[in-house]
Structure formats: C-alpha cells, structure tokens
Amino acid sequence: MRKLLILLILLISTKASAQTPIIIGPQTQLQWDMFAFVPATSSTCIYAVSQGTGPFNNITAPVTCIALGTTDSTCSVNLIASGLPIGSNSIRMTATCSGITTLPSTSFAYVDMVIPIPSNLRIR
C-alpha cells in the first residue's frame, strides 16, 4: 500500500506560477518540494529539467534536500551550476526515484538577469 501511495504522489503534477524578475547571484538556488519523501530518499532521486518544450536533461550539479515537516523535503540546486539559461524562459521538472519517473511538473515561467558583483575590492 505504501508503494502505491508513493507512486500516486509521484504522478501528481503541481502548479507553478510566473515570477517577477529575479537577480541571480552566485548562491541563488532553484528549489522544489518533494512530498512524502524524507531528505535521505529525496537526495537519491535523479532530477531532470526541460527548458520550454525541449527535452529533459538530468541536473548534474549537487542537489541538497532538507526536511519540510516530518515526511516531506525541500530540495535545491545552485541555479547557475544547474545550467539553466539566463533571461526569460520556462522550465518543467521530473524526478526519478527507485526507477519510477514522475510526470512533468507544470511549467514554471521566470525572468532573471545577472548583475555583475564587484570583486577584488581594495583601497590604494
């Protein structure tokens, strides 16, 4: 019964919404929730992202999952390391856990921009 419940939860797509422009810095994270999965389980899943209507590509950057309540997780990956393009786009995500791949999430539309961060600050 538990495996059936997990399978049903994996197959439920959740609705995402459009965002106002965001500023991308070196620590900006792409985050998502994994319901009915504790962090230890969520961390073993393989996540794939599709840009627009393109093919799904596995996220190869390290994914970190933390507890969200007692039975759920919030996972994240560094946005720049994830390879998502800068600008206006939409993404969908799937998760493959224990060999079962979920249906794609609802598209998440975003607009982002990179603003250079000053470096090597000094007084001469």
More confident of the two residues 39 and 22: 39
Alpha carbons 20 and 58: distance in angstroms, whole number: 26
Compute the distance between CA of residue 91 and CA of residue 57 in angstroms, rounded to an integer.
11
Please tell me the distance from the alpha carbon of residue 95 to that of residue 87, in angstroms, as a whole number: 25
Q: Are strands 108-114 and 22-24 parallel, antiparallel or unpaired?
A: parallel
- If one compares 84 and 22, the residue with the highest pLDDT of the two is 84
Q: Which domains does the chain have, with CATH numbers?
A: 28-114 (2.60.40)
Residues 39-71 have pLDDT tens digits of 999 999 999 999 888 999 999 899 999 999 889
- Tokens representing 12? 């439920």
Question: Higher-confidence residue: 62 or 23?
Answer: 62
> What pLDDT does 22 receive?
66
